[in-house]
């Protein structure tokens, strides 16, 4: 006699939300907000709703390496009901050593068990860079970050590198990179890696990326491996101060009349023209504002090597031979001026290193005219 063996019922995301008292109308509202955050056309809302309703709760393993926990703080400080909160509740977070109650061997056993049970299907989230200079620079339960990443990546369906540290090396990689910090993509070459950069990333960008994997698979990525939905446009193009830029109205200091009138912060070092992120539209602190709205220029934290970008308060430099308005437009159009500035500063530092001299900020600034 043949017996039919039924697979245990896997709870869908829709069922999970419903069990938390979220009605289908609430779910539709949630999907509309999610589509908005993902910069998808509103016409996609029914498709997102249908796909999310049936999506299985994914097992998520979250590894934290050389990081400050800012990325986790960003995600967990959101208030309810938020899209990020709802998605975060709907996933099965099987390992996160900052958030989980278990510690020591118990925590590591939970990770091993989740990896075994969901092998090939779990989503691996990594925040923090990986030191390759000396394995002892950063370990968890005596396991080096490098070994733990390789082990966990082997069974992952996809990897999300959360934060600029995991995506590009970030602050630990800042010159002179004492730990030999590298990004996830520098080590793992055989898995899809989605970089969700930012220091920290916007919480809904983290969960929106997870939602995209659940609904439509790996999102379309830019040349730096970031989802185009969130990193497709630069801050400058979406900035509400852009009209002042177009009219040539700039704040020259942080307390002049231009600053008080809310003029463009380009001359105060704003990196908006060369920074790709969704801050200007999604904003921070429950959609309250973003740094430029608070009166400070963008520091470019979602870009590689932003810490060595030539100074937060130094205007993006202009290629020589350009003057006046032409030069300003060229810089804002994203000509690799920041890179050029960084290279010039780097030369100054290398020269100083060889002579064992200290380089001052003024000397660095002289290298690239603002």
Whether 108 and 141 have beta carbons less than 8 Å apart is answered as yes
What is the distance between the alpha carbons of residues 214 and 122, in angstroms, rounded to a whole number? 11
Which listed residue (12, 15, 26, 180) binds other proteins by CB under 8 A?
Answer: 26
Select from 79, 58, 48 the least CA-distant residue to 16: 58
Smallest distance, other proteins to C-beta of residue 291, A? 14
19 binds other proteins (CB under 8 A): no
Select from 265, 234, 250 the least CA-distant residue to 325: 250
232 binds other proteins (CB under 8 A): no
Which listed residue (102, 112, 261, 343) binds other proteins by CB under 8 A?
Answer: 261
Size of the site for other proteins (CB under 8 A): 41
Q: CA 182, 185, 190 angle in degrees (round to 5)?
A: 140
211 binds other proteins (CB under 8 A): no
228 binds other proteins (CB under 8 A): no
Which listed residue (70, 135, 232, 295) binds other proteins by CB under 8 A?
Answer: 295
CA atoms within 13 A on the CB side of 311: 23
281 binds other proteins (CB under 8 A): yes
23 binds other proteins (CB under 8 A): yes
Which listed residue (3, 4, 19, 80) binds other proteins by CB under 8 A?
Answer: 80
24 binds other proteins (CB under 8 A): yes
Looking at the Cβ atoms of 35 and 161, the one nearer to other proteins is 35
Which listed residue (13, 45, 152, 301) binds other proteins by CB under 8 A?
Answer: 45
Looking at the Cβ atoms of 53 and 367, the one nearer to other proteins is 53
47 binds other proteins (CB under 8 A): no
Kindly tell me the burial class for residue 292, based on how many C-beta atoms sit within 10 Å of its own C-beta (0-12, 13-18, 19 or more): buried
260 binds other proteins (CB under 8 A): yes
Per residue in 28-63, is it b (16+ CB within 10 Å) or e — as a string? eebbbbbbbbbbbeeebbeebbebbbebeebbbbbb
Smallest distance, other proteins to C-beta of residue 77, A? 14
What is the distance between the alpha carbons of residues 320 and 99, in angstroms, rounded to a whole number? 51
What is the distance between the alpha carbons of residues 298 and 286, in angstroms, rounded to a whole number? 19
Q: Mention every residue, 6+ apart, whose C-beta is less than 8 A from residue 106.
A: none
Looking at the Cβ atoms of 287 and 319, the one nearer to other proteins is 287
Looking at the Cβ atoms of 38 and 124, the one nearer to other proteins is 38
Smallest distance, other proteins to C-beta of residue 327, A? 24
Helix (H) or strand (E) holding 143: strand 143-144
What is the distance between the alpha carbons of residues 42 and 339, in angstroms, rounded to a whole number? 37
* Interacting residue ranges for other proteins, rule: CB under 8 A: 22-26, 28-30, 32-33, 35-37, 39, 42-43, 45, 79-82, 238-244, 259-263, 280-282, 286-289, 295
């Amino acid at each position: 006699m043949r017996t039919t063996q039924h697979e245990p019922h896997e709870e869908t995301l829709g069922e999970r939300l419903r069990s938390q008292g979220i009605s289908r109308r609430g779910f539709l509202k949630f999907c509309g907000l999610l589509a908005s955050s993902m910069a998808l056309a509103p016409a996609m809302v029914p498709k997102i709703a249908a796909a999310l309703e049936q999506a299985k709760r994914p097992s998520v393993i979250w590894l934290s390496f050389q990081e400050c926990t800012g990325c986790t703080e960003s995600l967990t400080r959101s208030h309810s009901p938020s899209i990020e909160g709802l998605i975060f509740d709907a996933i099965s977070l099987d390992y996160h050593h900052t958030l989980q109650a278990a510690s020591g061997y118990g925590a590591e056993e939970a990770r091993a068990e989740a990896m075994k049970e969901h092998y090939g299907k779990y989503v691996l989230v990594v925040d923090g860079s990986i030191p390759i200079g000396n394995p002892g620079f950063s370990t968890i339960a005596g396991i080096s970050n490098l070994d733990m990443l390789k082990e966990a990546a082997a069974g992952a369906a996809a990897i999300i590198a959360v934060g600029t540290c995991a995506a590009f090396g970030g602050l630990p990689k800042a010159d002179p990179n004492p730990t030999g910090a590298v990004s996830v993509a520098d080590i793992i070459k055989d898995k899809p890696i989605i970089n969700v950069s930012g220091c920290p990333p916007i919480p809904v960008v983290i969960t929106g990326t997870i939602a995209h994997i659940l609904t439509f698979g790996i999102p379309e990525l830019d040349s730096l491996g970031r989802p185009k939905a969130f990193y497709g446009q630069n801050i400058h193009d979406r900035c509400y101060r852009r009209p002042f830029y177009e009219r040539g109205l700039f704040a020259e200091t942080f307390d002049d009349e231009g600053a008080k009138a809310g003029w463009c912060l380009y001359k105060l070092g704003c990196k908006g023209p060369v920074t790709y992120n969704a801050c200007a539209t999604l904003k921070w602190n429950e959609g309250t504002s973003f740094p430029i709205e608070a009166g400070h220029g963008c520091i470019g934290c979602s870009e590689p090597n932003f810490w060595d970008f030539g100074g937060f308060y130094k205007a993006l430099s202009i290629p020589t031979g350009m003057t006046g308005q032409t030069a300003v437009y060229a810089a804002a159009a994203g000509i690799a001026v920041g890179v050029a500035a960084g290279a010039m500063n780097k030369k100054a530092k290398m020269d100083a290193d060889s002579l064992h001299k200290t380089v001052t900020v003024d000397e660095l600034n002289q290298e690239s005219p603002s």
